Amino acid sequence: MIVSTTTSLYETGLLDVLDSEFEKKYPDVNVTFISQGTGLAIQTAMGGDADMILVHDPAREQAFLEGGYGVNRKIIAYNYFVVVGPEEDPAGVKGLDPVNALLAIKAAGEQGEAVWVSRGDDSGTHSKEKKLWTAGGEDVAELRDHSWYWERGAGMTATLAMANEKIGYTLCDMGSYLNNYVSGTIDLEIVVEAGKDTLNVYSAIACDPQNPDLKHVKFNHAMKFIEFLTSDEVQDIFADFGVDEFGQPLFYPAVELLEENTDPTTASWIRELAFIDGSECPTEKRYNAGNLPFLNIAALPIKTREIFN
């Protein structure tokens, strides 16, 4: 089975752990990961070269589903994006919200006092960055022409290394940041903290065998893997992964959080930012899912719905 996935999940080493545990449980299934930015990960699956995707870009996931390429989307985990930069913070962004932080970096960059390094690889992180620039009224295509704006065109570790070399700023998922900071490969500091505007939600989607171009996909294996990812055992792996080394998980489990509303604030953010038409998977995009539950806002207790609304 081939899983097309993001660099942030792959580079932290989490997928190696999941692969080992899954193949212990299903020794007849060999899992191979293709690590790319979310845009390329989705394109790989659309081309029929993967059996499922693990990605973090709800808008693209919706297009993947609606285009007839995917079914049975499940939200499995989350963490946050942060803006990182030099300790001396030449753009003075500490304490600002993400959009105003980027605008301050732009202003400092125009004065020759700051550098921004973008993933520039059409990944989920790059997509989030572009949304933040757009929210600030900026045209990303125009930013690319400025000397203070650099594009790495690669994964998160390579982008962090470039930002570190140039003593610049970048947007990064928390898992990748901690993995690189604690290992000593970068000395950039978090200058804009995590929050609702930087929520980063990961989902698993099986490729749709009903699509004539995807009828060859290993759908049953993909569904086994999605069920595995949502199991209590693996959600506990998410909760524990990184705690001993970094003092906190690199990724937080999302299944119980959403089902039980254990953290109403974070659960409401995930529903608002990552649900599609009020559900983690629209009804018409569910196919042979067995007992896999799909969450809908309409099915939540009335008090919870009131909080969300």
Assigned token pair, 36 = 């790319």
**Residue 132 confidence (pLDDT) above 70:** yes
Pairing state of beta strands 52-55 and 199-207?
antiparallel
Q: What is the end-to-end Cα distance of the chain in Å, rounded?
A: 40
Helix (H, G, I), strand (E, B) or coil at 212: helix
Give dist(CA 217, CA 129) in Å, integer. Answer: 32
User: What pLDDT does 154 receive?
Assistant: 86
Count the residues in the chain: 309
User: What pLDDT does 11 receive?
Assistant: 83
Q: Tell me: the pLDDT tens digits for 197-225?
A: 899 999 999 999 999 999 999 999 999 99
CA distances to 4, 15, 176 from 34, rounded to whole Å, are: 5, 11, 18
Contact by Cβ (8 Å): 207, 55: no
CA distances to 64, 211, 223, 261 from 72, rounded to whole Å, are: 12, 14, 8, 21
User: What pLDDT does 83 receive?
Assistant: 96
Domains of the chain as residue ranges with CATH: 2-79+199-308 (3.40.190.10), 80-197 (3.40.190.10)
Helix (H) or strand (E) holding 134: helix 124-135
Q: Tell me: the pLDDT tens digits for 155-171?
A: 889 999 999 999 999 99
The secondary structure of residue 255, as a DSSP letter, is H
